[in-house]
Amino acid sequence: MKWRPLMAVLLGLLLFGVTAGSASATSVHQKDITSQVHWAYSTLIQYQDRINRDFINWYEDNKNSLPPLTENTVGELFQKFLQENPSERSYLNALTLAQQKLYDLNALRDDLVVKELTITPLGLYSPQQNYVKIKVTIKYFKIKLIRWTVKYGEQDTINVYYSGKYARQAYLEFSDNYKKASIVAWILGLPALPLSMPVAMAIWSAAGGIMFQGFKLGDYWESTNYQYFWIVTKSNYYYPNVVVPGITLASNFEVYLYNKADHKYYILPNTKYVSITAPGISLSASAVAAEISEAAHRFVDNHGQSWVYVKKG
């Protein structure tokens, strides 16, 4: 199975990334990271093997009434298999959680590189420190069925990092509690990564004032030493042509501010909304996740999955 050699490499990278990271990574316990990796890997193997075995047995029992099993039909057949077998949907959920955990740990190592950025004393900004950069990553949820790999969803992560004077501008745009429309304006105006007005309004509506109730923007700004503003939009989008939306897995998204101490300040926690409404707008979380996916793919097609500077000076 291809997961095992891949996981061995990932484990090595994770351990190297933690032990060779900057001093700010001292709060990350290597033993805890290792145990999480082992748990996620063993869970992934367990449910991958279980679902694959059950899928083969199901197809053998029903093949007289099913289309031939080919690369072109395996996704459709997998959806039918999930519809007819509720227990397999719970197995797929467990498999997905394991993949999400591995992706999160891998992202942690990547963030350690960012944490090594030098921060000058408060108020001392050089021209090189005034910038906005974006990083978009797309990581797929997949399962091996017989000899085919079926992608059934993806995790899209959009990082927008403001530094220096741009960080202060971003903070000021968010700091006025009476200008909630600034959230919508920010979502619509993501540099080189615009979302539509309906989706921007839906995200704002879903937030439901969370940003202004129990969320202290000043605490986040202080935690960055007033040097940067890091906004992350993360979406888990499950393909409706493979899994049954809301029955097998529910697409979802979240928006939070992030600092280099691995702390998240949620604007919109990750919740599986059935529907999202705003004046004149009604969207499912799956529809929002689908558009975030389209925006992520457009950006990655043009710029790749590394940090891209969109403003400097």
Query: Residues 260-290: pLDDT tens digits?
Result: 877 888 877 776 654 555 555 566 777 778 8
The winner for highest mean pLDDT among 56-60, 228-232, 286-290, 303-307 is: 56-60
Confidence of residue 246 (pLDDT cuts 50, 70, 90): low
Residue with the larger pLDDT of the pair 93 and 255? 93
Range of the domain at 16: 1-116
Give φ, ψ of 65 to 5 degrees: -110, 10
> Same domain for 130 and 25?
no
pLDDT mean over 27-39:
72
Among left, alpha and beta (phi > 0; psi -120 to 50; other), residue 155 is: beta
> Same domain for 151 and 295?
yes
Instruction: Report pLDDT for 16.
Output: 34
> Same domain for 106 and 229?
no
The answer to whether residue 97 scores a pLDDT higher than 50 is yes
Cα→Cα distances 109→2, 57, 100, Å: 22, 39, 15
Confidence of residue 178 (pLDDT cuts 50, 70, 90): very low
> Same domain for 72 and 150?
no
Q: Average pLDDT, whole number, for the chain? A: 74
The answer to whether residue 11 scores a pLDDT higher than 60 is no
> Same domain for 204 and 152?
yes
> Same domain for 100 and 43?
yes
- Residues whose CB is less than 8 angstroms from the CB of residue 160 and which lie 6 or more positions away in sequence, other chains included: 132, 133, 134, 190, 191, 193, 230, 231, 232
Confidence of residue 256 (pLDDT cuts 50, 70, 90): confident
> Same domain for 189 and 59?
no
> Same domain for 108 and 134?
no
The answer to whether residue 193 scores a pLDDT higher than 60 is no
> Same domain for 20 and 75?
yes
Determine what percent of the chain is predicted with pLDDT higher than 90. 32
pLDDT tens readout for residues 125-138: 344 489 989 999 99
Instruction: Report pLDDT for 286.
Output: 79
> Same domain for 47 and 165?
no
> Same domain for 174 and 307?
yes
Residue ending a domain, choose from 85, 116, 147 = 116
Q: Which pTM was predicted?
A: 0.76
Residue with the larger pLDDT of the pair 12 and 233? 233
- Residues whose CB is less than 8 angstroms from the CB of residue 42 and which lie 6 or more positions away in sequence, other chains included: none
Domain count, the chain: 2
Straight-line distance from the first to the last Cα atom of the chain, in angstroms, rounded to the nearest whole number: 49
- Residues whose CB is less than 8 angstroms from the CB of residue 220 and which lie 6 or more positions away in sequence, other chains included: 257, 259, 265
The answer to whether residue 167 scores a pLDDT higher than 60 is yes
Confidence of residue 199 (pLDDT cuts 50, 70, 90): low
